Amino acid sequence: MTHSKLYTLEGIILSRRDHGEADRVITLLTATGRSSLLAKGIRKPQSRKAGHLELFSRATVLCSRVTGSWDIISQAEAQAIRFQLHQDMTRGAAARYVAELALRLFEEDTDEALYTLVDNALAWLERGDAPDPLLRWYEQQILTLAGFRPDWSACVGERDDRQCERLLSPRPADSQPYGIDVERGGALCPDCWGAIRNAPAYEVSPARPLSPSALSWLQAFQRRAYAEVVQFTFPERTANELARVMEHYITYYLERRPATLKLLK
């Protein structure tokens, strides 16, 4: 026997999966949590809810609480549908990556900061912002919210049994590369990177080289508001390097490669 109680949620649809012959299970991110809800009959051609529950949409839903099963979406009204994320393959792939990181890095407990971050990222993709700088900025912000904030400002290396902690101020004229050590969670100064690179165990080390330009951009993405960094010209070579670097970093902490990276490539 089921017991129902109506309640309202506003949230962003991060994922959908088919259930049964005509239903879908919707994953909704709200400012206070994450909910899996059942949208009955949504795959039927005559469904009135279907257009209001598109992937990446922000919607207000009226739900019926059900004991022992998913709560059921009784009514839905879209607040932002974001058509361009379905019509443009590149932007759509970037949106799926935004959603996947939110789903992988956070479980049931979320907060308003995450909700706002995801909503803004999807809105900026919808308006046509370039995916590369937006995603690199988004990665830095969501890693911080998840408690995996990388240290790009001081060297995380260790030499002579002491923490290095050398302040990092990369410049274009730097002749030596920096490094990134995902185990220690941040960047390496040229000396610490050189020590790791020349060590016998380097081949199995998770450390990687990092150009001065890439480190400088990582610092900017972490410290500055999106409205600031989007004004700068993002060099293609650095963009390609940072895509590889952050894939390596995030895969390490998720313990799996994000599935949506295949779409982005």
Question: What pLDDT was estimated at residue 110?
Answer: 81
Q: What is the pLDDT of residue 3?
A: 52
What average pLDDT does the segment 109-136 reach?
Answer: 95
Strand partners, 58: 12, 80
The pLDDT value given to residue 141: 98
Instruction: Report pLDDT digits (tens) over 2-35.
Output: 455 899 999 999 999 999 899 999 999 999 999 9
What pLDDT score does 1 carry?
A: 42
Q: What is the pLDDT of residues 143-154, one digit of tens each?
A: 999 999 999 999
Residue 161 in contact with residue 206, Cβ under 8 Å?
Answer: no
**pLDDT (average), residues 129-148:** 96
For the stretch 102-105, contacts whose Cβ atoms lie closer than 8 Å and that sit 24 or more positions apart, written own/partner, are 102/14, 102/29, 102/142, 103/14, 103/15, 103/27, 104/254, 104/258, 105/142, 105/143, 105/145, 105/146, 105/148, 105/254
Structure-token pair, residue 156: 């995380």
**Among candidate residues 262, 21, 246, the one with its CA nearest the CA of residue 148:** 246
The overall average pLDDT reported for the chain is: 93
Domains of the chain (ranges, CATH numbers): 6-80 (2.40.50.140), 130-265 (no CATH)
pLDDT-wise least confident of 63-67, 84-88, 225-229, 237-241: 63-67
Residue 62 has pLDDT above 50, yes or no: yes
Q: What is the pLDDT of residues 225-247, one digit of tens each?
A: 999 999 999 999 999 999 999 99
pLDDT confidence band for 183 (50 / 70 / 90): very high
Instruction: State residue 97's pLDDT score.
Output: 98
Report, as an integer, the average pLDDT of 137-164.
94
Residues, the chain? 265
Q: Give the count of alpha carbons within 13 A of 36, CB side only.
A: 13
For 204-223, how does the pLDDT look when each residue is reduced to its tens digit (9 = 90+)? 788 999 999 999 999 999 99
- By percentage, how much of the chain surpasses pLDDT 90? 82
Mean pLDDT confidence for 48-74: 91
Helix runs in the chain, H state only? 84-87, 89-105, 112-127, 131-145, 190-197, 212-223, 226-229, 236-254, 261-264
pLDDT at 124 over 80: yes
DSSP class of 43: T
pLDDT reported for residue 177: 94
Q: Stretch 54-63: mean pLDDT, rounded?
A: 95
